[in-house]
Amino acid sequence: MKKYPVLLFILGLAALIMFQGEVVMPLVNKVIQSDLFLVESKDEASQLPISNEMTSFAFTHCNSHIKENSNQNAIISFPEKPINAWSLGNYQYVINAEYSITMESQSTTNKYACRITYKNGDSIEGAADINNWSIDGVSELKK
């Protein structure tokens, strides 16, 4: 075999490709076709902006998060409604909104996007409690 290392390499590569095509890929296709990763919930995803009770709670909790993590000397004000809110399904939301921050008589308006998840699933009784939500990320969008 020391005389034919290239032939050994080609045969090994061919065997690996055949193993992947005949064993691994059919197994992957069976897993994909199964309901293994399916999450059932009453909250369905929407490509269009929505406005309901859960997006209102999500907006309020995102605003609280921004207020808690901002400069304590600043005065922050939020509008009554977000610019847009989307449901990603399974009680995950993206909130797009703006806020005004006043500091030393200088006021600026910033936009933000907040991704937030409700942790109690279909039981929406605790939606007003911030401890039942997790903020997955907030990004400021500069004007």
Comparing 23 with 123, the larger pLDDT belongs to: 23
Helices (H), ranges, the chain? 5-19, 25-33, 53-68
pLDDT at 101 over 70: yes
Task: State whether residue 132 is helix, strand or coil.
Answer: helix
Burial class (CB in 10 A: 0-12, 13-18, 19+), 12: exposed
Burial letters 28-49, b for 16+ CB under 10 A, else e? eeeeeeeeeeeeeeebeeeeee
pLDDT at 141 over 80: no
pLDDT at 27 over 60: yes
Structure confidence at residue 121 as a pLDDT band (50, 70, 90): confident
Comparing 83 with 34, the larger pLDDT belongs to: 83
**Amino acid sitting at position 10:** I
CA of residue 47 relative to chain centroid, distance: 14
